[in-house]
Structure 1
């Protein structure tokens, strides 16, 4: 019996299988991942390429992680009390009933200022047309997707190019995959190329993000509904998430150098000016 096949014979107490037998087996291909990464660099709006990269670099520890959480008493508690995170996260009226300074308020502020919603992320994922399966792999993957913007809020990394790379490396620290490493580090190297000559510690920022993710409890395993009620600073302390000092230093230096971190393409020629 193959390693993937054995997970098709494991079930939660409600009968949900760990891995549906119809779910295609992952196939590792570094060349395919690199090809799709190059395409992504040419068209950064094509999010389907991101999923193709992850699918080309499956982690041997993914299914064990799914099994460990989903079949545990704690995992069953999460599935029972938080069956759909988008419904919880998009109910801003309810979230705003928590005390000021809570994670819920910080999350609502972030999502509203950025014009985002958890449902929007789901819709973006659904547009890719990837098949869904009634298994615990689907639940785990959805929960990972739905906590992405909470990562931004808790870590302090913005939605600029470097902030997104930092969140990817933070995520790798939480749940290691070669896909996160490839996109995170190669994307960061591309940022350095775009602002050649800048003194900003770009690679230091992403390395710090990776270390922070590794040192923090896995966020998707936490009871999100309860975390939202708590003061955001207390949640960060409890999850061992420090201030992103290297990322903030990059933004400080870029401000001095006249580089807009949210529009690096407009700064591609800045390197020549810095060198001069």
Structure 2
């Protein structure tokens, strides 16, 4: 009987646990359904009204700084004259020559991108003092050198000289009349005439000068004097009475004598 009762109690306990577990499982499923049925709350997206004021504030704060770089880095000014590198001939000219002869005309002989060709041409000419050449600086283009001949105060004079010109040039070269003002914006160099004028030469002239006479100083042999000092002699006189007591003491000093030798 006891065994049967224990088995019955065990069966009851198992049923109670099984029923309790089932109830817990059902409760968990119901809670899961409720949690998944509610939509998740996402972070609120900023509206157009929220974005626009912030964008406008940044835009307005940037406007006052637009002109800062203009003050710090100024626009390029074509006022600085340069000294073109290289060894130029004495016929090389720059802006000073153009400005001085801005109303004059010349004959354009030929144009090249190598200065050496012009220098070789001038070296072979005995009348090279009538030629000049310029360096043309054009933006985004390689530099060019142009050789000119003569200097005329009018286009008619230049054209007349062109008809009479006989330089023995090759047939491929065709000189033409040109106004020097056409090169005013293309030349930005210091010519050889300016560079040579800046180098000042100084002459040092030496003049003969009288040599001052030096006075003759006679040398007199020095005489030496030896002085011998004789020590002084001091005399003491003591007077005593008949009893032997000192009555008076008298001292007398001798005179020092010196004799030159």
With structure 2 as the length reference, what TM-score do the two structures score?
Answer: 0.19
Higher helix fraction (1 or 2): 1
Higher strand fraction (1 or 2): 2
With structure 1 as the length reference, what TM-score do the two structures score?
Answer: 0.19
Kindly name which structure, 1 or 2, has the bigger radius of gyration based on alpha carbons.
2
